[in-house]
């Protein structure tokens, strides 16, 4: 994270110009100045007020018996110690069982969505590397789902998944893929598939955007050299493209993982608030545990547990990938 070479804005026809050399500290030595701190004050105040302090308050809340009786004036909420955490991790009780189920649904959802998004994005980026007629149009089209406000996209999918008036069942029937009754997509076992499709539609364009940006920085000479050595399509992909994309992939997969794991918007809009058990993602689960039953203490404990899990996964991931990068 220390140094960076930043390309300038990309010119339409060319690759980004490499002109930002790694940063050198000023030769005169940094002046001991209060100016940078002054420049950062507004950002720091906001980060503290909206991110850091609420997070600490969240940890405090998770130690309180903060039920509907104490919401109005939470200074009266009794101290509960680790009781909320005991309930959260008691996997033999109904609450713990449901939370664990929700956790595994989210893991499956994240692995499937991130994996497929990466494959789709990679396929599109590789096949759009060569110039051909209509390339710019396709690139724009592929980025459109990412630009749409999430709720408009998901409302449209909700309409498409309607049992009686939706496009999906209409197409299935026309191709004779279903015998008997039309399937339900937004309740029951199919709801997980529906959720995954919508998530994939939303997030593969982002993978495409990042991978495309990464590929623009691969010098053409590398491909020329590989071609002279007789490397075919797969060899070029494996020995030139993939190694050059390693830094992009490291960040992209992490960001996709965190976004998908914390995804609230997609299920919330798709299922209209209460998700079916088969598609009960953890964000929705915690939201309902908090606002439907007004048990904020328990909801906060679950949130903190989720945060710790994400911190551990992220730390391990960064350690492993950084070590791989050093050996590469």
- Does residue number 127 form part of the binding site for another protein (CB under 8 A)? yes
Q: How far apart are CA 105 and CA 155, in angstroms?
A: 22
Burial of residue 294 (number of CB atoms within 10 Å: 0-12, 13-18, 19+): middle
Q: Residue 114: in which H helix or E strand, if any?
A: helix 94-127
* Residue closer to another protein, measured from CB, 59 or 92: 59
Instruction: Extract long-range pairs of 214-220: CB within 8 Å, 24+ residues apart.
Output: 214/244, 214/245, 214/247, 214/248, 214/249, 215/125, 215/126, 215/129, 215/241, 215/244, 215/245, 216/10, 216/15, 216/16, 217/7, 217/15, 217/16, 217/244, 218/244, 218/245
Question: At a CB cut-off of 8 Å and minimum separation 6, what does 81 contact?
Answer: 63
For residue 123, state whether it binds another protein (rule: CB under 8 A): yes
Q: Any contact of residue 310 with another protein (CB under 8 A)?
A: yes
Stretch that binds another protein, among 94-102, 110-118, 188-196, 205-213 (CB under 8 A): 205-213
* 3-state DSSP assignment of residue 66: coil
Exactly one of 63, 99, 114, 128 binds another protein (CB under 8 A); that residue is 128
Distance CA 289, CA 269 (A): 18
The reply to whether 181 sits near another protein by the rule CB under 8 A is no
Does residue 140 bind another protein (CB under 8 A)?
A: yes
**Selected binder of another protein within 142, 185, 192, 271 (CB under 8 A):** 142
CA proximity to 194, closest of 260, 287, 276, 257: 276
Q: Is 25 in the site for another protein (CB under 8 A)?
A: yes
Choice from 264, 277, 278, 321 touching another protein (CB under 8 A): 264
Binding-site member from 274, 291, 320, 322 for another protein (CB under 8 A): 291
By CB under 8 A, residue 240 contacts another protein? no
Smallest distance, another protein to C-beta of residue 87, A: 16
Question: Under the criterion CB under 8 A, does residue 76 sit at the interface with another protein?
Answer: no
Residue 322 interacting with another protein (CB under 8 A): no
Give yes or no for residue 244 binding another protein (CB under 8 A).
no
Give 190 or 255: the residue with its C-beta nearer to another protein.
255
Does 251 engage in binding with another protein (CB under 8 A)?
yes
8 near another protein, judged by CB under 8 A: yes
- Interface with another protein includes 167 (CB under 8 A)? yes
* Count of chain residues binding another protein (CB under 8 A): 117
- Out of 224, 292, 293, 322, the residue judged to bind another protein by CB under 8 A: 224
**DSSP-assigned letter for residue 183:** P
Interface residue with another protein, options 95, 196, 307, 321 (CB under 8 A): 307
7 counts as binding another protein under rule CB under 8 A: yes
DSSP helix/strand/coil, 326: helix
Closest CA to 266 of 309, 210, 203, 209: 203
List 109, 118, 271, 296, residue binding another protein (CB under 8 A): 296
SS3 for 105?
helix
């Amino acid at each position: 994270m220390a140094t960076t070479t930043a390309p300038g804005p990309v010119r339409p026809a060319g690759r980004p110009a490499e002109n930002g050399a790694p940063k050198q500290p000023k030769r005169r030595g940094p002046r001991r100045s209060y100016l940078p701190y002054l420049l950062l004050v507004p950002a720091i105040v906001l980060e503290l007020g909206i991110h850091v302090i609420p997070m600490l308050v969240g940890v405090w809340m998770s130690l309180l018996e903060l039920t509907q009786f104490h919401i109005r004036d939470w200074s009266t909420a009794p101290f509960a110690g680790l009781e909320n955490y005991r309930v959260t991790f008691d996997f033999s009780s109904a609450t713990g069982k449901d939370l664990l189920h929700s956790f595994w649904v989210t893991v499956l959802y994240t692995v499937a969505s991130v994996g497929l998004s990466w494959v789709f994005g990679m396929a599109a980026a590789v096949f759009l590397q060569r110039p051909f007629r209509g390339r710019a149009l396709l690139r724009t089209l592929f980025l459109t789902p990412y630009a749409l406000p999430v709720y408009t996209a998901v409302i449209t999918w909700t309409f498409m998944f309607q049992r009686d008036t939706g496009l999906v069942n209409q197409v299935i029937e026309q191709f004779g893929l279903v015998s008997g009754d039309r399937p339900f997509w937004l309740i029951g076992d199919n709801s997980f598939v529906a959720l995954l499709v919508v998530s994939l539609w939303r997030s593969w364009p982002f993978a495409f955007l990042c991978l495309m940006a990464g590929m623009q920085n691969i010098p053409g000479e590398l491909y020329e050299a590989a071609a002279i050595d007789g490397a075919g399509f797969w060899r070029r992909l494996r020995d030139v493209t993939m190694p050059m994309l390693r830094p992009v992939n490291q960040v992209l997969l992490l960001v996709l993982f965190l976004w998908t794991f914390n995804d609230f918007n997609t299920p919330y809009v798709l299922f209209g608030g209460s998700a079916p058990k088969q598609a009960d993602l953890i964000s929705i689960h915690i939201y309902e545990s908090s606002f439907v039953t007004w048990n904020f203490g328990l909801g906060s404990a679950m949130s903190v547990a989720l945060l710790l899990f994400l911190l551990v996964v992220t730390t391990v991931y960064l350690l492993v990938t950084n070590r791989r990068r050093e050996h590469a």
